[in-house]
Structure 1
Amino acid sequence: MQHQNTIKWQLGKNWHQLHPNVQRRFNRLPTEQQPIIYDGVMDEVYCSGAGWLFAVLTKVIGNPLSPHRGQHIPMEVRLTTRPGQSGVYWQRTYFFPDKKPFQVTSIKKDDAGRMMEMVGGGFGMFLDVSAEDGELHFRSSRYFWKFNRWYLPLPHWLSPGATHVIHQDLGNGDFRFTISMDHRWLKRTFYQTGVFHERPN
C-alpha cells in the first residue's frame, strides 16, 4: 500500500504558499527502515486544571494528552509508516525531569478526501489544513469516534477544545512547533511550543 502525501494533497495549489523549507520538510514520507526524527526542546508545556482532567480521563485510549507541565522539556518526534497501513505515525516523546518518558502516538491520514488525526480507541479529529504567511496550519473541525466505517461526531463541549497547530520555519534547519487547545467554556486547556531540528541520518 502506498502512503499518500496527505498534507500536500490537502493544500493543492496552496502548497506553494508554504516556505520552501516547510515544503522540503513535508514533501517526503518516512518508512519503518528510515524514519524521520526531530529533536527539540519545548519552551513551555502547559495544561489547565480542566486540561489535566481530560489528560487523566483519556489515558485509556493511549495517552493522547500530556497531564504534565514544565518548561525547557526535551522532546523527540519520530515519523514512520507501517506496511499495509495507511497514514503517517507521529510518535512524540516528552522527557520531563524525574518522570518516565511520556509518549503520545497519533496517525495523520486521509479518508475520502478529509484529513484526520487518529489516536487510540477509534477517537480522532478532522483537520483543516492551510498555508498562511509561509507557515503550515492545522485546525480541528470536529472530534469523532469511529466504529467500523461509521463516524460518530462528538459534541464540542465534550472535547478538550479546538486544536490549532502551527509549523513555522526559523531558518538554519530549525522550526517552531506550537499547539493550542481552546474550549468554548473552559478557555485554554493546553498550550505547547518549542523549537526543533531534524536528526541527521
Structure 2
Amino acid sequence: MEQVVRRIGEDAEAFEVFYREHVEVVLRYATRRCRDPHAAADLVAEVFLAAISASAGYRAERGTPVAWLHGIARNVAAAEDRRAARARVVEGRLAGRRPLHEDDIVRLEERIDAERGLAALLERLAALPAGQRAVLELTAVDGLTVAEAADALGTSSVSVRVRLHRARRALRQVPAPPSGSPAPPLSTLMEA
C-alpha cells in the first residue's frame, strides 16, 4: 500500500484510484465541519492537493492511508481557520468563491443537512479540551481505531486511550441541550 500512496503524486491513474477509494472519508470530514457547500468542496480539494504534495513522504509504518488523510485534513482545516481569522481581521470576509455546478451544490447541501444531526453533539464536544475532542471525533465519529487516531494525531496509542477515557468522562459532565432539542447520540461516543 505504501508504494501506491507514494505514487499518487506522479501517476494520474494511481491518484484516481486513491481518490475514488478515499473521497467519501474526506467528504464526511468536510461536510461535518463546513456549513457552506463551496467551503466543503474547497476543503476536499485542498486535502487531496496536500496529499499529492506529501505522497512521497508517506510511510506505512506511521499509519494507514485513512489516518494519514485525516491528519492532512486536520492540518489543512487548521491552516484554513488561521488564514480566515487573519483575513477577517485585515480585510473582513473575502468574496468571490469559484462557482459550483447546481448539482454539486445540491449534493453538498444534502450532505451538510445529513450531518446537522450531529450539531447538538458537536456543541457538547466543543466544551471539551481540543486534544480530547480530537480523539473522540477521530474514534467515535470518523471510526478510526485507537492506533489510526494516534497516527493521525502524531502521538502514541497509550496517549490516545488516556485522552479518550478523559474525554468520555468529561462529556458526561457537559450539560445536555435544553428539552425540545434533539438528544445527541452520546451512546456511540461512550462505548469502550
State TM-score, norm by structure 1: 0.22
Between Structure 1 and Structure 2, the one with more strand by share is 1
- Structure 1 or 2, whichever has the larger Rg, is 2
